[in-house]
Structure 1
Amino acid sequence: MDETRLRGELREAALAHRPDRARMLARVERGMAGPPPARPRTPGRASWAGRRWTATAAVAATVVGVVGLGGLAVTALQDRPAPPAAVAAPGPVARAAGTIDPGSNRWWAQSDLAVTTDAEVTGLTVEVRVALTGGIVSTGHWQTRSAGDFTVTVAEESGALVHRWTLKEGRTVPAGPHTFAAQYNHAEGTRDASGDTYTVVLTGRDGGRTTLRGGFS
């Protein structure tokens, strides 16, 4: 077996296995402390044996060095402090209350949603869901903020008439009280509003988000 092939096989074996570092160091030290075992002299034999032993020791020392560096790298990674966990920004402080407007009658009603924000918000979505209890048809909507600040949609979704206000990009809503109203006809009589709900999602300047949910009394 020539020296190049020997080196290749030793390197493959080193990569394929996880050697015992302590035993390998001991073997290398013993080998380096004394000459290779004596063998019968034949022409060219002694010089080849010495070269093979030297190559073996060199490759083994290289493997030990790599293992040692690997151990240091693992230790360094284990000792490295973990990065601080990301903390979500707190959402805007806000309150909401849903009521049936006292001006409602036996054929028509208005659901009022009062939203109060303690700080300016850069994102706002308001949904008023009127349960389809019979004869429900939208007759309009309004809000105390400028109509040009919102995109408003009205549609039937999952058994409810949904009035949705979405603040347009680049617009803001200042701190203070705000009202959103949904108007609709209904079947004659006193309507039960216990199935009506609202959802308000507010986003602050720092990206924090607050969600409010409730019903109408």
Structure 2
Amino acid sequence: MRDDAHDDDRVRRKLRGAAQAHRPDRERMRARIERGMAEGERRPERRSKATRHVGSASWLRVVSATAAVAGVFAVVGYGVAAVLRDEEPSPQSVATSTTPAPPTAAPDPDRTPDAPARTDDPPDRTPDAPPRRPSGTPPTPPKSPGTSGTSGTPKSVPADRLLWADGSVDPGSSTYWSQSDITVKARKPLTALTVEVRVAGSGEVADTGNWRSLPEGDFDVSATERDGFLVYRWTLKDGRTVPVGEHVFAGQFNHPGGKRDAGGDTYAVHAGTSDERAVWRGDFA
């Protein structure tokens, strides 16, 4: 049994090898068939019975040969299928060919290269360059943003165009204490305002406080002794505005007993808008 199985395997291997190695010459068989058909067509239509018989016989031989070849192919294919039906078909690679690209034509040494496109720009100026300025012409200075030909500094005007002011000793003053009042009447909304009161008798007078009728947060306030005076100063903060109307600024201080003479006291009001400025000065006489 083992020898028979071994023989069967060997026969199978041989059949498989023969089947894989077999390459039928299809072109040769097709040529023979076409040649036989061509010979039959070249015979004259009017022929004798004997000739027709012979032609028919030749045609039968061609057909028989073709059928025989087909039968051989069928038998061989059936045998190969019987041998290989239990085997997985081995993958086959298909050779492909790429069409070569046409050769690039070599440049003609006698051919003159194409001239570059002509432009209308002069040879000494590129398309993106600014126009040339005639010699001797000074360059135009750049314009500063936000200016319109003016320096932007407010001009000085008569004081009464912006305000009116008056200095007085408050009626509530007493023998040992006094209050100096500055009344300011703004004729326009003021974007700048500084009110300063100078009380004579430094060393004899002492600050006890101050106030103003405008919001406290709109001003920076100071009270200092300088050059023989007690100086009160109220300065409007940046971005704040003093509205049109009457406003009061007051400085309070102690002094030696008795009625005090305010003849040496002075005041000054510096006011301004976006385009005007003015100064008002006075005393308490």
TM-score using structure 1 length: 0.58
**Alignment counterpart, residue 195 of structure 1, candidates 249, 260, 264:** 264
Paired residues for 1:67-216 under 5 Å: 89=155, 91=157, 92-132=161-201, 135-206=204-275, 208-216=276-284
- For residues 230 and 222 of structure 2, the distance between their equivalents in structure 1, rounded to whole angstroms, comes to 10
For structure 2, list consecutive stretches of 5 or more residues without a partner in the other structure: 1-135, 138-148
8 A Cα contact 1:134 1:186, kept in partner: no
Q: Where has structure 1 moved over 2 Å in runs of 4 or more? A: 84-92
Give the secondary structure class of the aligned counterpart of 2:155: coil
Instruction: Judge conservation of contact 1:134–1:187 (CA < 8 Å) in 2.
Output: no
Look up the match of 2:77: none
Counterpart residue number, 1:54: none
Q: Which runs of 5+ in 1 are unaligned?
A: 1-69, 74-83
Q: CA deviation at 1:205?
A: 2.3
Alignment RMSD, CA only? 2.2
CA deviation map 1:66-103 (0-9, x unaligned): xxxx9xx9xxxxxxxxxx99896354521100000011
Give 3-state SS (helix, strand or coil) of 1:148's partner. Answer: helix
Identity of aligned residues (%): 47
Offset of 1:108 from its aligned partner? 0.2
1:16-68: CA deviation from partner (whole Å, max 9, x where unpaired): xxxxxxxxxxxxxxxxxxxxxxxxxxxxxxxxxxxxxxxxxxxxxxxxxxxxx
Q: TM-score, normalised by structure 2?
A: 0.44
Q: CA deviation at 1:216?
A: 1.1
**CA deviations over 1:144-168 (Å, ceiling 9, x no partner):** 0000000000000111000000001
Q: CA deviation at 1:126?
A: 0.6
Rate the CA distance shift 1:85–1:133 in 2: closer, same or farther, 3 A.
Answer: closer
Work out which of the two has the higher radius of gyration on C-alpha atoms and give 1 or 2: 2
Give the C-alpha shift of residue 133 in structure 1: 6.2
The separation in 1 between residues aligned to 2:175 and 2:259, in whole angstroms, is 6
The number of equivalent residue pairs is 135
Separation in structure 1 between the aligned mates of residue 230 and residue 248 of structure 2, nearest angstrom: 19
1:134, 1:156 → 2: CA distance?
Answer: 9
| Equivalent AA in structure 2 for residue 142 of structure 1 | W
SS at match of 2:166: strand
